[in-house]
A and B are shown apart, each in its own frame.
Chain A
Amino acid sequence: MKFEKRAPQLRLKLEGWRSRVVLGLATLGFLVLAGRAVYLQGMNQQFLQAKGEARYGRVVEMPASRGPVLDRNGQMLALSTPVESICVTPDDWEADDAAVKRLAAALGMDAGEIRQKIANKDRQFVFLKRQIAPEQAAKVMALHVPGVFLQREYRRFYPAGEVMAHVVGFTGIDDNGQEGIELAQQKRLAGVAGSRKVIKDRKGNIVEDVASLRVPRDGEAVTLAIDQRLQFLAHRELRNAVAANGARAGSIVILDAKTGEVMALVNMPDYNPNNRANVTGKQTRNRSVTDLFEPGSTLKPFTVAAALDSGLVKPDTLIQTAPGSMAIGGWTISDSHPFGVLSVAQVIQKSSNVGTAKIQLSMTAERMGTLYRELGFGAVPATGFPGEAKGLLRPWTQWRPIEQATMSYGHGISVSLLQVARAYTVFTNEGQLLPLALLKREARPIGKPLFTKDTTREIVRMMEMAVSPGGTAPRAAVPGYRVGGKTGTAHKAEAGGYAEHKYVSSFVGFAPVSNPRFIVAVMIDEPSGTKYYGGDIGAPVFSTVMGAALRMMSVPPDAPGIPGAPGTINAQARDTRGEG
């Protein structure tokens, strides 16, 4: 085509500067755009990327659950399960009277109460009601009140209730342990919440994982040494005993005689950890661990064992205890019943204070002082229970002779029930003291040798005599099994001296004697009846608990043939009978 054939207007010759201006403007425009691009992409890049990410990127919290607490057989003792809390952001809150009423009805709250909670506009966030069941939360959310939303939380439940309360303890509303194992094992039980960065699409679906900021870690499970069956048994018997004796309080500790594991630990009064509305410190206190008492005669076997070990006496050495009392430095110690000449074995069997004091005074205070220290008195038992009491044991260098005498039968020293029970592991372990364990042990621990095997055997024989007819605690006997043990009765120490009619009755024993399986320690605080001796109050409880525990664990009887004892059948004999 030819130029000349175009429209006449196009044939006009334009002036050169006009096209140059247009070109210049266009170039300038491009330069501005390029400049802006460099500015945004280069210098302002980070800011813009952050803004962009804020549009589609989200940081998602990943909650971690608290670990469960299990007994030695894997039974659940404490468990976290999700619950919902109803929250409100007052700024977004929009509800007319009818809506508030509906909300109140769904929550089971008062309408005025809800208004009052919302009224404070300064707050960004208000809990309307915490920790309700997911079904109820769904009903509340179905009302679609603006500003109301859910927050997931975990709530702790304790299926075993009061039976385990003192051992397991409980957590506060923020899932932190406050008592017992929950507090002691807080680090292991508590998980670590995590978070991750994700990209969400416009529907709110997560479409891409960008980065994991913190990997969540669920809390570990904690397995206790406690056997729930024994615990339940001990709890039931203690409850009966405290009620029957009109006592103020009581405790039972069951130890595995060979491993030092705490198999059961119960206290009265108790409480329900699932509902702590009116619970007082009196109920939550783990008395067997935190409370001190004068152990009384339960310490006599240690005195006698020390004397036997040093070769100062033999089991049949005779000791004059008549007239049943004895004066030391202006003080008098006496026996509850006067006895005449007793052998060392009978001193234990009859629980003679005078006899024990005489044996003690033939030794130095140092021997006794160091022994008590080594037995763990005056030091925390280190089981990991919160609030473990050390007990009171004055240094032997400060003892006066009367103190040395009374200390030999457990007065003037204060201990926790757990400490006494632990000290008895020397008698079930050939003279070796075991460390205690609250958590399940994998292997038998190495004990600390305190007495020789021979001494231990003699003492065990004496303690078996104490439980036989003629001893202080025939009521502690368990049909079918050989049992050894020792009673304890002590006046309660109060400000300014001993209380006249307040006693602590205790009994500590083990069975079967031929191969000890359990140590059971019973303590009854202030029995209100006319009887208060350990042999009358503590011993029957011991007998029931020990008997049931041995049968429950199918421990073969070592003294069969006694009326009322379980019979035995030989497995092979039965087999052949079956074949014939």
Chain B
Amino acid sequence: MSLLLLVLLVACALGTITAQHRARKSFVELEAEQVAAKKLEEEFTQLQLEQSTWSTHKRVEAVASKQLGMKAPDAASTMIVSPEAKAP
């Protein structure tokens, strides 16, 4: 009887150790993923920064006018479409 209990006890002990080990392994993986997520987040802010730097109005205007030879339409060549449905 007591021999059986001893076997059971050892089995349980080994089970606990394996479980603990597995938990730790998973935890290390989780940590690694979190670090990766943080890295991606940082990359995202850097990309956002880059995007907003490239898309400043100053730069867009300079490219449009100097490289592409564009200009803003003056008032006289602007048509404003009014949403109100009034027959002429």
A residues bordering B, Cβ < 8 Å?
Answer: 65, 75-76, 79-82, 157, 159-161, 163, 201, 205-209, 228-229, 232, 479-480, 547-548, 551, 554, 556-557, 563-574
Contact = CB atoms under 8 A, between A and B. Distances in A.
Nearest to B88: A573
A567 B49 contact: no
A547 B78 CA distance: 12
Contact of A79 (B48, B74, B79, B81): B48
B76 A566 contact: yes
Contacts of A229: 57
Interface in B54-81: 56-58, 72, 74-76, 78-81
A567 B80 contact: yes
B33 interface: no
Contacts of B42: 81-82
A573 to B, nearest CB: 5
A206 B31 CA distance: 7
Among all A-B residue pairs, the 10 with the closest Cβ atoms: A566-B78, A159-B52, A232-B57, A572-B85, A76-B52, A207-B24, A159-B53, A205-B28, A479-B75, A81-B45
B18 interface: no
A566 B42 CA distance: 46
A208 B53 contact: no
A209 B84 CA distance: 63
Given A570-B86, A571-B82, A163 B76 contact: no
A232 B72 CA distance: 14
A566 B82 contact: no
26 contacts: A79-B52, A157-B49, A163-B58, A206-B27, A207-B27, A208-B24, A208-B27, A229-B57, A232-B56, A232-B57, A480-B75, A548-B72, A556-B82, A557-B80, A564-B76, A566-B75, A566-B76, A567-B78, A568-B80, A568-B81, A569-B82, A570-B88, A571-B81, A571-B84, A571-B85, A573-B88
B49 A554 contact: no
B4 interface: no
B31 to A, nearest CB: 5
Interface residues of B, number: 31
Contacts, number: 99
Contacts of B31: 205-206
Interface of B: 23-24, 27-28, 31, 42, 45-46, 48-49, 51-53, 56-58, 72, 74-76, 78-88
B45 A159 contact: no
A549 B70 CA distance: 19
A159 B24 contact: no
A81 B49 contact: yes
A572 B75 contact: no
B82 A568 contact: yes
A201 B24 contact: yes
A479 B85 CA distance: 24
B52 A206 contact: no
A556 B42 CA distance: 43
A72 to B, nearest CB: 15
B24 A566 contact: no
Contacts of B46: 81
Contact of B75 (A76, A205, A565): A565
B33 to A, nearest CB: 12
A236 to B, nearest CB: 8
A205 B51 CA distance: 35
Contacts of A568: 79-82
Contact of B79 (A159, A160, A569): A569
A310 to B, nearest CB: 40
Contacts of B80: 554, 556-557, 566-569
A207 B21 CA distance: 9
A566 B79 CA distance: 6
Contacts of A209: 27
A475 to B, nearest CB: 15
Given A207-B27, A567-B78, 5 more contacts: A208-B24, A479-B76, A554-B80, A570-B82, A570-B85
Contacts of A572: 85-87
Contacts of A79: 45, 48-49, 52
A505 B19 CA distance: 79
B55 to A, nearest CB: 8
A564 B79 contact: no
- Counting chain B CB atoms within 10 Å of each CB, the highest count among A80, A157, A547 belongs to A157
Contacts of B45: 65, 79-82
